[in-house]
A and B are shown apart, each in its own frame.
Chain A
Amino acid sequence: MALLEIRNLHVNVEDKPILKGLNLTIDRGEVHAIMGPNGAGKSTLSYVIAGRSGYDVTDGQVLFNGKDILEMEVDERACAGLFLAFQYPVEIPGVTNTTFLKTALNSVRRARGESALDAMQFLKYVREKAKPLGIGDDMLKRAVNVGFSGGEKKRNEVLQMAVLEPVMAVLDETDSGLDIDALKIVAEGVNALRGPEKSTLIITHYQRLLDYIVPDHVHVLADGRIVKSGGKELALELEANGYAEFTGAAAA
């Protein structure tokens, strides 16, 4: 059974069709990349998988471990092992990163039938996860994403992912706004979480990130559908030729 299977997904936003019959199958251990021009529906796809409100699924299914997650609450999906790294991580004034991570981890642990970690156990655990990402105690004590630079916000997303250990991670434009050093740290963080049972879906406009997180499959999303799929070399082709071929086809 595939880990994630999207079947004929149709999604409207404010009555406007954005996804128009999207199909995608991701097996365990695989890294897939979805590339596409602006407005193709990339972010819509990530939000629908995560369960954000305001997206009307008019047809189709999203199966995670064989179960249709469209019926599940946002937090239930997260507890089941889905993770979305946000393109624009949200600032939460007044909530420290540590409190946030601890509450999240213990929610997920309880859902998995594991015991909650106490403050000391948690601190040890989170420091281990934070160190390779260059996140020190000061960043853990600050309010979630408040006053963080672009690079810090993205590293913080990867830290959340490392802490929660999802089975399926969706990275939405994680490369946007990153310089090359930050990009490398983020990519190493993501690569460290790869494993035979875990899958990753990278949504991106540019090929750059894929130099560091090498995908098994690359798909082109244009006008709400996957219009072409291939191996990692497809990303290089797109980088060279752009999306004109696909947007042209969509217009015609």
Chain B
Amino acid sequence: MDFSLAGPFDEAAPRLPGADLAWLDALRSQGIEAFRANGLPNRKVEAWRYTSVSALEKQSFAPLAEPVPLDALPEGAALAIDGARRIVFVNGRLRADLSDLGDLPEGVEASSLAEALGGKDGDLEELIAPASKERDGALAALNDAFMEDGLVLRIAAGASVDAPIHLISVGMPVEGQAVAFHPRNLVVAAKGSRATLIESHIGVGEGSYFSNSVTDIRVEKGATLTHAKLQDEGPKAFHVALGRVRIGDEAVYDNFVLHRGAELARNEVHARIDGTGAECRLNGAYLGANRQHIDNTTVIEHKAPGSRSSEVFKGALDGRARGVFQGRIVVHRDAQQTDGHQLNKTLLLDRNAEMDAKPELVIYADDVKCSHGATIGELDETALFYLRTRGIDEAAARDILVSAFLNEAVEELRDPALADAFRARIEGWVDARHKSEGERAG
């Protein structure tokens, strides 16, 4: 059996959901052709210059077989948010038995993509835009070809939904064999709605798997979508996610991502502001240790006047971890009175840790306010000394400063319950780091 990434396509295609849909068949074929022609992204391509996915070629991935046995979610792995409705996917496939689909708040419609494709959902064709056409979208092309399941989430016009919708993705090898899955999520926040989507990406066990998702999001006129994600995949996992976001007039898209897990993670967001007076916020924090590689790549396109965007990404890298931040802001000619700000700060906790930061502003309009800043540094020795003169021992003082540094990104979350949940994840990481350091020293 061919265990390479593209290998199983011909055999799998007829069995994939929506195989009878001509438009989808065309899209899949286009995807696999693009992937076969171009292969995995390589570092000669500017967008992938700092992130090598060559490890994916060395690994073999079994095609998805029958549903994997998993009786319950691993304790404490996903974010804990009061009142959130869970929708659980295991290796990319919906597990209705572990989900709260029967108990969705008013104004929320959620289903699995596999099911929706079977039901000939009218506007899916319009929502599933080919991802293989994306700039440097080699892995997105693979998603086009293999998409099987995912979350289809619709927030009704005018609905104001308090309970967050919580997408939980669990990855795990099957019978010791690594698997690849390609979730395709579709999210529409209709006119004037307000809702929160949370994602937890977690792993079971230590084995390898590859999660390669594409999420298409529309935030229509006057809607507000809060979208917060925890990436805490298993230690040998590969996590590649592309979010494509369209933001309408006076709409707000408020995104946050925390990276903690995976051997290699890339979270890429392409946000396009189509409406006037819209707001796009992309924030995040990343925690890296050992040989983890964490890439945050963002592209914000301002296509309409009077819109705002802001980005704050902060990370701490320990061991031989490597971080990447690529932030591109494009202000098109008609996007006058754009306000765009971007900040990326990284703390290197080990001399072997490494960070590549690449801010990029491309401005075609003449009446805009745009700024960017990137810093890479070590813990402030003066602050450390100050804390220690107050009786706080060195390890505790370091922990306090690392948490405080990362907290600045978490504070960008406007919902205090979400901020607390992510803060707890960061503190857990800081504590664990502290303990492993103690073990090394002891």
A204 at the binding interface (Cβ < 8 Å): no
Binary CB contact string for chain A from 141 to 162 against chain B (1 if under 8 A, 0 otherwise):
0010000000000000000100
Interface-central residue, A52, A75, A79, A100, by most chain B CB under 10 Å: A75
B417 at the binding interface (Cβ < 8 Å): no
A57 at the binding interface (Cβ < 8 Å): no
A95 at the binding interface (Cβ < 8 Å): yes
How many Å lie between the Cα of A103 and that of B400 in the bound state? 10
Residue of A nearest to B397 (CB): A75
B436 at the binding interface (Cβ < 8 Å): no
B64 at the binding interface (Cβ < 8 Å): no
Residue of A nearest to B405 (CB): A94
A50 at the binding interface (Cβ < 8 Å): yes
Question: In the assembled complex, how far is the CB of residue B269 from the closest CB belonging to chain A, in whole angstroms?
Answer: 25
B388 at the binding interface (Cβ < 8 Å): yes
Question: In the assembled complex, how far is the CB of residue A205 from the closest CB belonging to chain B, in whole angstroms?
Answer: 22
Assess the B389–A92 pair: CB atoms within 8 A.
Answer: no
Assess the B390–A94 pair: CB atoms within 8 A.
Answer: no
| Contacting residues, chain A, for B381 (C-beta < 8 A) | 53
Q: Which of A73, A160, A164 contacts B388 (CB 8 A)?
A: A73
Assess the A107–B391 pair: CB atoms within 8 A.
Answer: yes
How many Å lie between the Cα of A219 and that of B304 in the bound state? 70
| Contacting residues, chain A, for B389 (C-beta < 8 A) | 50-51, 74-75, 77-78, 83-84, 86
Question: In the assembled complex, how far is the CB of residue B379 from the closest CB belonging to chain A, in whole angstroms?
Answer: 11
Assess the A92–B387 pair: CB atoms within 8 A.
Answer: yes
How many Å lie between the Cα of A51 and that of B387 in the bound state? 12
How many Å lie between the Cα of A53 and that of B385 in the bound state? 9
A185-206 residues at the B interface, CB under 8 angstroms: none
How many Å lie between the Cα of A92 and that of B400 in the bound state? 10
Assess the A74–B385 pair: CB atoms within 8 A.
Answer: yes
Assess the B390–A95 pair: CB atoms within 8 A.
Answer: no
| Contacting residues, chain B, for A160 (C-beta < 8 A) | 390
| Contacting residues, chain A, for B382 (C-beta < 8 A) | 90
A104 at the binding interface (Cβ < 8 Å): yes
- Using a Cβ–Cβ cut-off of 8 Å, how many residues does chain B contribute to the interface with A? 22
How many Å lie between the Cα of A199 and that of B390 in the bound state? 18
Binary CB contact string for chain B from 404 to 440 against chain A (1 if under 8 A, 0 otherwise):
1101100000000000000000000000000000000
How many Å lie between the Cα of A104 and that of B388 in the bound state? 9
Binary CB contact string for chain A from 207 to 225 against chain B (1 if under 8 A, 0 otherwise):
0000000000000000000
B393 at the binding interface (Cβ < 8 Å): yes
| Contacting residues, chain B, for A51 (C-beta < 8 A) | 388-389
Assess the B393–A107 pair: CB atoms within 8 A.
Answer: yes
Given contacts A50-B389, A74-B389, A111-B391, contact A95 B404 (CB under 8 A): yes
Question: In the assembled complex, how far is the CB of residue B377 from the closest CB belonging to chain A, in whole angstroms?
Answer: 13
Question: In the assembled complex, how far is the CB of residue B32 from the closest CB belonging to chain A, in whole angstroms?
Answer: 47
A43-93 residues at the B interface, CB under 8 angstroms: 50-53, 73-75, 77-79, 83-84, 86, 89-93
Question: In the assembled complex, how far is the CB of residue A8 from the closest CB belonging to chain B, in whole angstroms?
Answer: 25
How many Å lie between the Cα of A214 and that of B344 in the bound state? 50
Residue of B nearest to A95 (CB): B404
Given contacts A94-B408, A103-B400, contact A79 B394 (CB under 8 A): no
A108 at the binding interface (Cβ < 8 Å): yes
Question: In the assembled complex, how far is the CB of residue B112 from the closest CB belonging to chain A, in whole angstroms?
Answer: 41
Binary CB contact string for chain B from 372 to 403 against chain A (1 if under 8 A, 0 otherwise):
00000000011101111111111011001101
Residue of A nearest to B400 (CB): A95
Residue of A nearest to B386 (CB): A90
Assess the A75–B388 pair: CB atoms within 8 A.
Answer: yes
| Contacting residues, chain A, for B385 (C-beta < 8 A) | 50, 52-53, 74, 90
Assess the B394–A86 pair: CB atoms within 8 A.
Answer: no
Assess the B386–A75 pair: CB atoms within 8 A.
Answer: no
Question: In the assembled complex, how far is the CB of residue B343 from the closest CB belonging to chain A, in whole angstroms?
Answer: 13
Assess the A78–B388 pair: CB atoms within 8 A.
Answer: yes
Assess the B388–A94 pair: CB atoms within 8 A.
Answer: no
Assess the B403–A94 pair: CB atoms within 8 A.
Answer: yes
Interface-central residue, B383, B387, B401, B408, by most chain A CB under 10 Å: B387
Residue of A nearest to B410 (CB): A94
Q: Which of B394, B400, B401 contacts A73 (CB 8 A)?
A: B394
How many Å lie between the Cα of A176 and that of B401 in the bound state? 27
Question: In the assembled complex, how far is the CB of residue A41 from the closest CB belonging to chain B, in whole angstroms?
Answer: 19
Assess the A90–B391 pair: CB atoms within 8 A.
Answer: no
Assess the B408–A93 pair: CB atoms within 8 A.
Answer: yes
Assess the A94–B391 pair: CB atoms within 8 A.
Answer: no
Assess the A92–B391 pair: CB atoms within 8 A.
Answer: no
Given contacts A93-B404, A94-B403, A94-B408, contact A78 B386 (CB under 8 A): no
Binary CB contact string for chain B from 113 to 131 against chain A (1 if under 8 A, 0 otherwise):
0000000000000000000
| Contacting residues, chain B, for A90 (C-beta < 8 A) | 382-383, 385-386
Binary CB contact string for chain A from 88 to 131 against chain B (1 if under 8 A, 0 otherwise):
01111111000110011101100100000000000000000000
Q: Which of A52, A73, A78, A91 contacts B390 (CB 8 A)?
A: A78
Assess the B390–A164 pair: CB atoms within 8 A.
Answer: yes
Q: Which of A75, A83, A94, A143 contacts B394 (CB 8 A)?
A: A75
How many Å lie between the Cα of A99 and that of B389 in the bound state? 16
| Contacting residues, chain A, for B387 (C-beta < 8 A) | 92, 100, 104
| Contacting residues, chain B, for A86 (C-beta < 8 A) | 386, 389
How many Å lie between the Cα of A143 and that of B411 in the bound state? 13
How many Å lie between the Cα of A143 and that of B407 in the bound state? 12
Question: In the assembled complex, how far is the CB of residue B273 from the closest CB belonging to chain A, in whole angstroms?
Answer: 30
Given contacts A75-B393, A103-B400, contact A92 B386 (CB under 8 A): yes
Assess the A94–B404 pair: CB atoms within 8 A.
Answer: yes
Q: List 12 A-B contacts (CB under 8 A).
A: A73-B394, A74-B389, A75-B389, A75-B391, A77-B389, A78-B389, A86-B389, A92-B404, A94-B405, A107-B391, A107-B392, A164-B391
Sample of 18 more A-B contacts, CB < 8 Å, known A53-B381, A99-B400: A51-B389, A52-B385, A73-B393, A74-B394, A75-B388, A75-B392, A78-B390, A90-B382, A90-B383, A92-B383, A92-B387, A93-B405, A94-B403, A94-B404, A95-B404, A100-B387, A104-B390, A164-B391
